[in-house]
Chain A
Amino acid sequence: MNLSRLTFILLLIVLCIARWSAEPDYIINNLGVSDTRVSPTVLKVAAGHLPGLVADFQILDVFSLYGMHERTEFESFGALLYHDLQMASLLDPQFKDIYRLASSLLVFDAGMPEEAVMLLQTGTKAIPNSWESPFFGGFIAAHHLHDYELGYSLMRQASLREGSPPAAVILAARYLKHHSGKGDAMMFLQGMSEVMPKKYTKGIEAEMHKLSIQGE
């Protein structure tokens, strides 16, 4: 084997080692810096004629963030998650996945119920024929933020929409009386864990476990 071939093979090996060993650190380091995310203005301009696809990519980013967070918990997880969901709702406000993820990951994994309710209010306006966003938003507002007025208002909207579960009327009535019991929360979380894909129900199950311990 001549010298040039040997050099080429050695360089190839060095490249492979450098890439495999450096990549995970590089990704984690990048995730730690929330300022590196593009602003809503830049993202909207760059998305141009393909806002739907860019919104899809924002959601894919949410999945990868969640995967990263499961492996190594990092501080900026909540902020990054909210940023991605907010960007996606700006580009494609009718995309239901945004609101499903906001009402599960953002609340139970990132602990940001206030931001989740804001997103769900956007979803309530953007998708007038769906009961999901006001239903989830109403529950989170009442149970986590203790804002029963907002909870009642959203839950009432959910109950008036086509296909809404009977629980929406019951919960709306309870929120009107400024009451949110543990049973309601368990019923809601149980329903939510059935709707959400199993991969993303870790936070919901932890919340259910917490509630059941409180009762004992």
Chain B
Amino acid sequence: MLKIISNTIALTFLEVVQSRVYQVLLVMALLSPLFAYFLSSLFLVEIGKVYMDGVLVAVHFLSVIFTLFIVSSILVRDISHKVCYLLVVQPATRESYLMGRFFGFLVTLLILITVVGLVSVGAGFLIFLDEIQLYVAGYTWSNISLLIFLHSFQYVSLLGFIFFIVSWATGLAEVMFFSMLGLIISWVLPQVLVLLNPEFGGEQENAVLFEFLRTVYQILPHLNGSDISLVLTHGASLSFSAISLYILEHLGYAGVFLGLAVWVFNRRDL
């Protein structure tokens, strides 16, 4: 089983790297510091912070496009054709197929993020070399590296969520619809919950709605990287426990939803 999983990882990597969308994403990753630089050049004082905001937007959009378009389309194609072409000579169990695909996608996403990280740190070094310290306060190569790593880590949860949807949804339209719906709800729900929370001034009559929405939110991936980003872009440090809990939350979510995906997929009549 381990051999099949490792082969699937390698073949997923090759398949994704050869796809045109991924190649375009790689080019966009290489150009991402340019966007961040143009954005920061419009500012006068805290340009280091704005540069990091620009890089984070690139990380966000590349990760969402990768998980929504590349991952969904490859998985749906495999399932609807009932064959994973790359493994045609090698019969695989549904479990090892899903596990191999998951880690394969994770590796390719990691490569994409690493490219963003390397070019952003390199470009940042050149851009801010002669800049006044006051203007780039909070910007250091270690800070931006940690920021990119932690901000991108939340998409491991999104990957697990998409695998779960693929395990029961039929067709690309259904997968895209539910993935987008999940993403949009997880985008707006945290702020809606803050507004409805009776403890923070929300109306008491909305308490039932608040509890209902809070339960819905627990099912969705928590894309809470912005909480960490707001701290790190200003040069403040994060405690070891905060970082560990954040990583554990996303690993746990991805693990649970991948497990659920395997369980549902094993029972699915193909």
Q: Which residues of B contact A (CB under 8 A)?
A: 39, 42-46, 49-50, 52-54, 56-57, 60, 187-188, 190-192, 195, 223-226, 229-230, 233-234, 236
Contact = CB atoms under 8 A, between A and B. Distances in A.
Contacts of B229: 52
13 contacts: A41-B191, A49-B60, A49-B224, A50-B53, A50-B226, A51-B226, A52-B53, A52-B56, A52-B226, A52-B230, A94-B234, A127-B234, A200-B44
B226 A199 contact: no
A41 B46 CA distance: 26
Q: A interface, by DSSP: helix, strand, loop or mixed?
A: helix
B132 to A, nearest CB: 11
Nearest to B52: A52
B230 A97 contact: no
Contacts, number: 65
A154 interface: no
Contacts of A46: 188
B191 A56 contact: no
Q: Binding site of B, secondary structure by majority: helix, strand, loop or mixed?
A: helix
Contacts of B188: 45-46, 48
A200 to B, nearest CB: 7
Given A50-B57, A52-B53, A56-B53, A96 B226 contact: no
A53 interface: yes
Interface string A86-116: 0000001011110010000000000000000
B192 A45 contact: yes
Contacts of A45: 188, 191-192
